[in-house]
Amino acid sequence: MKFGAKSAIAAAVVAAGVALSATSASAYVACNGEGQCWHVHRHAYYNYNPGFGIVVHPDNWRWGANDHYTWREHGGRGYWRNGVWIRF
């Protein structure tokens, strides 16, 4: 196999790896009924109690011009309630 063909194959393999890693590292946006939103990674591990009133959106979700949300990032797993980060 010639050098040019090997380079093209190597570039395709690298591009496929980057594409796969980008999709597996996706995040989500969680928002509570109080208008506080934060990023959530690995949505499958976050099973919020329906009573918490938390809605999980895709990472590209944006609130509208007339919505009243604020970003409240956090450290670790949990959710915001009454302005306090509740860990679990």
Give me the pLDDT at residue 88, please: 80
70 pLDDT more than 90? yes
Give me the pLDDT at residue 51, please: 87
In total, the chain counts a number of residues equal to 88
19 pLDDT more than 60? no
Mean pLDDT along residues 66-85: 89
Rounded-to-integer distance, Cα 47 and Cα 79, Å? 11
Give me the pLDDT at residue 7, please: 44
Q: For residue range 35-48, what is the model confidence (pLDDT) as tens digits?
A: 999 988 866 556 78
Nearest to 30 by CA among 60, 55, 3, 65: 55
Mean pLDDT along residues 52-81: 89
Report the 10 Å Cβ neighbour count for 45.
8
